[in-house]
Structure 1
Amino acid sequence: MNVVFVISDTFRRDNLSCYGPTPVKTPNLDRLAEESYVFDNAYLGSFPTVPNRLDIMNGRFNFIDHEWCPLPSETVTLQQILSASGVVTQMVIDNPHLIENGFNYERGFDGWEWIRGHESDRWKVLPKEVTLPAHPSKLNNAHFVLPNYLRNTAWWKSEEDHFAARSVTEACNWLEEGQNAEKFFLYVDLFDPHEPWDAPKEYVDMYDKGYEGEEVIYPYNDYWENIMSEAELNHCRALYRAKVSMVDHWIGILREKVKKLGLEEDTAFVFTSDHGYLFGEHGQIGKAFKPENGYYEACRMYNEMRRIPLMIHLPGQKKSERIGALVQSPDLMPTILDLCGLVASKSFGGKANIQALQCGIFYTKDWRFEPESIHGKSLMPLIRGEVDKLRDFVVCSNTIIHHTPVVSKCAVVTEDGWCLHYSGYYDEVLKESVKVNKVLIELQPSKGKVEPELYYLPDDPNEEHNLIEGHEDLAREIHARYVKWLEEVGTPEEHLAGRRKLVLK
């Protein structure tokens, strides 16, 4: 079958009514949920944006040996395999980070279209002077990224000029032109509702009409009380929700185009995200924070960030089905291969297998794909009811290659609802700087260790009550399972060494 795959950056799971009561209006995604397999326990693997896309494209948990980086030259991607198998592959993307600075994540697609200008994309140089919407102390990257974005978008006159609108319009145009392809894979990467939040006023008025304060459209990542008032925080929520509703509107247009072109009966539609965002939970705003001593560090991998929406609509499907099994972003690669008539996944307890339309397509003079190298597992056996689970715990993590708990924070969530927050343990006190994602982080002696925490999510979904005292043996058991898993997925020993020890108070 054909596949339309849509990923929307920073789209919190609790925006959608299929996951519980919400003030956010997403009627089109609600309708999609009513006609899809809805995954109740979908989690990211690698965090954040770029590492997550690498997980999706190569089916691996890349935090074990990569960070935010260009597409590795040795990586065989989902799109390469599909293209080599006769599936027409097209990328439509407004997410700048996968393309700019030679990151090359379009590699392997038969065709690709980059909608220019989002966030850090160095596109427009005029107008030279722009007006910030709030005091610089409240804004993230007020010296470059936000002014750059404001220059890139100064020409906008209507909703149709916004990034989600332009990307979906391009995707619809491609469907019009390519509808006669025997098989196709359309990958649509929407950076919205990622900051900056600047949806048209009619969307904002749905959530905070009459607000007259500063517009903190791209907040500084910090403890929110350090930088803004409660009214400004509430307005940030409204700005974000407005962009979510705009994204929903344009995803509805994309789905309608699939229907109008008569493609629905042989086209699967997949919707997901890469991670969430904190809007005051745990006292923070953003997905990292900058403590008083002046350096960024990863915040803990909280529930609001690690849990993601995932819906898969199969051709002709008319009703919703719920799947409670634990699934993760790397599972999407083998799932899409499966949907397209190929299989590249570890069978449950058995050896990996490949079935293809023709012999030899997974080996050329330029690259070779080893199915045993992927960590993800096709979700189709869950959908078909052949199995009831793929794994009994999930690992959601920042990169672990820098050997510092300041950066390498992760969450291990078990099937029965326990969550261990863990950041490794290093005997030597770290005093030197580390370059992470091209940002120099000055490590302080006090940050050589980050205490583990343990939560029981069925009773404490907001992770407010650390239960590690009194449950030390359970924490050690979960940690031991995590270390064994790191070994099984091939974590290099140099990155694994600092993860072997769990030290409790």
Structure 2
Amino acid sequence: MNVVFIMNDTWRYDHVRANGNDWISTPNLDGFAAESAVFDRSYIGSFATIPCRHDLMKGRYGEPLHYWRPLQWDCLTLPEVLRANGYVTMLINDTPHMINYGFGFDRPVHAWQMIRGNEVDRFRTDWFREWRLGNMDKFRTSAGMAQFYRQTHDKFLEEQFFAPMVMDAACTWLERNHNHDKFFLWVDSFDPHEPWDPPQHYRDMYAPDYDGVEVVWPAYCRSSDVYTPEEQEHIGKLFAAECTMCDTHIGRVLTTIDNLGLRENTVVVIMSDHGHYFGEHDQQSKSGPLYEEVSHQILMIRHPHGIGSGERFQALTQPADFAPTVLEMLGIEAPAEMGIQGRSLLPQMAGSNEIHRPVAVSGTFPYEILPVGDPTYAGRRVPAPMVEPGWTPLTVTGPEYALIAYPERERNEVYHLPSDPGMTNNIVDANREREQELHRELMAFLETHDSPEWIKRIYGDGPAGVQVPDIDEHLKLVRQRGMPFTVTLDGSVL
């Protein structure tokens, strides 16, 4: 049996028509959902892009969550286990962070192909005099926009855009490799992550008459500080257009699988890692607490034997479940060396009524957000002016209630998801028992997921007096050497 895994970065769960959105066009994902086991309560574990890939590759959350760092040489990953069991393994991606700066996610596979130039991937140095963009305060950075211009200004045909190129490479690989006895293909598309610049005909599907500033790569900010309501709405429509473009080209991969006769012996998994805020919680970003718009993932699994086909499951699932699910489907025992923490979803798909897990825990590896200009800032993270200073929270999602759990317990938030899916009405004061119940689940998670003592202390007793180690050694060295994508070179963006 083969496996094709398609990951789309930043695709919100609620931007698929099959998931209840009645205004977006995603016909290929809708058709796929009808044939698949759809997990409606899938949540990110380690946030964001790179930490999530650690969870997926290893089948574990980390200690207790992964942080943004290279794939370690001493960890055993899913592709390596599959290689040892006779599988041909391949990675096709345009997600720059997986490869750039020695992050090493190419290491576990037999071969890899990267479509160059998306977002911060340093692909071109082409000279240009200036690009008169205007309203620069609404865009991410002038250096980023300069790189975006260098790498995309000559794209005219749909086939030249990133998601189409990634999916085209996947189709080509399938045509050239479908005769292998068994294979594992990981397709990691950075779209629909920003920049949101799909071809005009996709934009016209959602905003044919818009004549304002077209902010394809927005600043991370408090939305109301920077954007008019019309601009914020249009940014969301650009994202929707990007999703529809991605859907179109995922459809090409699914058609190729059928045309090559692979449907009968190939598991296909379609997933997203997280979402993005488009004005919700006054954020144009994915920063701050992980509310539903960001933490909720797409997860659909089509089994060639029809297991779970057409059913929707409410089990709380997380990316660490991916590796054990694949291994069980293929009849391969997970080596003890992997230290698997996730749980296979195959029993759920086959009709098990067992509770998969009591809560889903989501978040960044804990760190303190310091006020802008704080002289004690040590280089661990960039201070974020659009979120409140203090320690980062973890989101604890249960069957009905969710807790935003801060080390500073007085900041905690509780939400009732069935009546408040947007998490806008904090009911913590009236639900202290729920808060305590979910907090106990969090502490149990930290205890059983290799958390260092300092993390258990800050979430258990608060951060006062806790000595925090500096864990970001790799990123600190990268910053000391300089981040080349932040240099504008010769061109000016005005």
Which TM-score band applies after superposition, normalised by the shorter structure? 0.7 to 0.9
Classify the secondary structure of the residue corresponding to 1:169.
Answer: helix
Distance 1:231 1:137 in 2: 16
C-alpha separation in 1, matches of 2:284 and 2:333: 41
Asked if the contact 2:47/2:364 (under 8 Å) is kept, the reply is yes
C-alpha distance in 1, partners of 2:219/2:275? Answer: 16
Q: Decide whether aligned partners of structure 1 residues 403 and 213 sit closer, same or farther in structure 2, where only a CA change above 3 A counts.
A: closer
CA distance in 2, matches of 1:106, 1:402: 31
Deviation at 1:218, TM superposition (A): 1.0
**1:468–1:17 distance in 2 versus 1, CA, 3 Å:** same
- What is the RMSD of the two structures over their aligned residues, measured on CA atoms? 1.9
Listed as ranges, the matches of 1:22-421 within 5 Å are 22-62=22-62, 64=64, 66-129=66-129, 131=131, 133-140=133-140, 142-288=141-287, 299-315=288-304, 317=306, 319-344=309-334, 370-371=337-338, 373-400=339-366, 406=390, 408-415=392-399, 417-421=400-404
Aligned partner letter, 1:119: E
How far residue 63 of structure 1 moved from its aligned partner, in angstroms, is 6.2
Question: Are 2:96 and 2:119, in contact at CA under 8 Å, matched by a contact in 1?
Answer: yes
In 2: Cα distance, 1:166 partner to 1:176 partner: 15
Q: How far does the alpha carbon of each residue in 1:438-485 deviate from its partner, in whole angstroms, 9 at most, with x for none?
A: xxxxxxxxxxx8711111111111112111112223212221221121
In 2 relative to 1, CA 150–56 (structure 1 residues): closer, same or farther, beyond 3 Å?
A: same
Structure with bigger RCO (C-alpha 8 Å, 6+ apart): 2
For 1:43 and 1:130, the matched residues in 2 are separated by: 42
Q: CA offset at residue 41 of structure 1?
A: 0.7
Q: What is the distance in 2 between the residues matched to 1:491 and 1:87? A: 34
What is the one-letter code of the residue matched to 2:433?
D
After the TM superposition, which residues 429-468 of structure 1 pair with which residues of structure 2 at under 5 Å, given as runs? 451-468=411-428
Aligned to 2:443: 483
Deviation per CA, 1:68-102, whole angstroms, max 9, x where unpaired?
11112222111111111111100000000110011
- Give me the whole-angstrom Cα distance separating, in 2, the residues matched to 1:394 and 1:34: 25
Identity of aligned residues (%): 36
Aligned mates of 2:132, 2:99 — CA distance in 1? 26
* Alignment correspondent of 1:443: none
User: Deviations for 1:376-431, whole angstroms, at most 9, x for unmatched residues?
Assistant: 1111111112343311111011112669874532110112x111101213xxxxxx
C-alpha distance 57-406 of structure 1, shift in aligned 2 (>3 A): farther
Check whether the contact 2:277–2:293 (CA below 8 A) recurs between aligned residues: yes
The verdict on how the C-alpha distance between 1:134 and 1:257 changes in structure 2, with shifts beyond 3 A counting, is farther
Matched, 1:14 2:3: no
Higher strand share: 1
Distance 1:237 1:243, change over 3 A: same
Shift of 1:64: 2.3
**C-alpha distance in 1 between matches for 2:254 and 2:268:** 8
Matched with 2:467 is none
| Alignment partners' CA distance in 1, 2:412 and 2:39 | 28
In structure 2, relative to structure 1, the CA distance for the partners of 1:257 and 1:496 (3 Å cut) is same
Opposite residue 315 of structure 2, the aligned amino acid is A
1:122-165 Cα shifts (integer Å, max 9, x gaps)? 1101143452645221111x232221122111232200001111
CA separation of 1:402 and 1:285: change in aligned 2, threshold 3 A: closer
> How far apart in 1 are the matches of 2:26 and 2:36?
15
Quickly say closer, same or farther: Cα 1:246–1:450, change in 2 above 3 A. Answer: farther
Q: Could you say what secondary structure the match of 1:6 adopts?
A: strand
Mapped partners of 2:162, 2:392: distance in 1: 32
Contact 2:65 2:364 in 1 (8 A): no
Contact 1:46 1:63 in 2 (8 A): no
Q: Where do 4+ consecutive residues of structure 1 move more than 6 Å?
A: none
Inter-CA distance 471–159: structure 2 relative to 1 (3 Å threshold): same
Give the Cα separation in 1 of the matches to 2:210 and 2:311: 40
Distance 1:155 1:21, change over 3 A: closer
Contact 1:44 1:274 in 2 (8 A): yes
Structure 2 residue identity aligned to 1:381: P
Q: Which amino acid aligns with 1:170?
A: A
- The Cα shift of 1:340 comes to 2.6
Identify if the C-alpha distance between structure 1 residues 392 and 120 changes in structure 2 by more than 3 Å, giving closer, same or farther.
same
For 1:400, the aligned partner's letter is P
Q: Which whole-Å CA distance do the structure 1 matches of 2:250 and 2:151 have between them?
A: 23
| Paired residues, number | 444
CA contact (8 A) 1:66 1:401 kept: no
| Partner SS state of residue 42, structure 1 | coil
Structure 2, gaps ≥5 residues long: 371-388, 464-494
Letter paired with 2:298? P
Q: Matches of 1:407 and 1:500 in 2, distance apart?
A: 13
* Contact 1:67 1:401 (8 Å CA) reproduced: no
Gap runs ≥5 in structure 1: 289-298, 345-353, 355-368, 426-448
How far apart are the structure 2 equivalents of 1:31 and 1:470? 42
1:391 maps to a residue whose letter is R
Give how far 1:50 is off.
0.6
Kindly state the Cα deviation for residue 283 of structure 1 after the two structures are TM-superposed.
1.4
Query: What one-letter code is carried by the residue in structure 1 that aligns with 2:253?
Result: L
Structure 1 residues 134 and 83, CA gap change in structure 2 (3 angstroms): farther
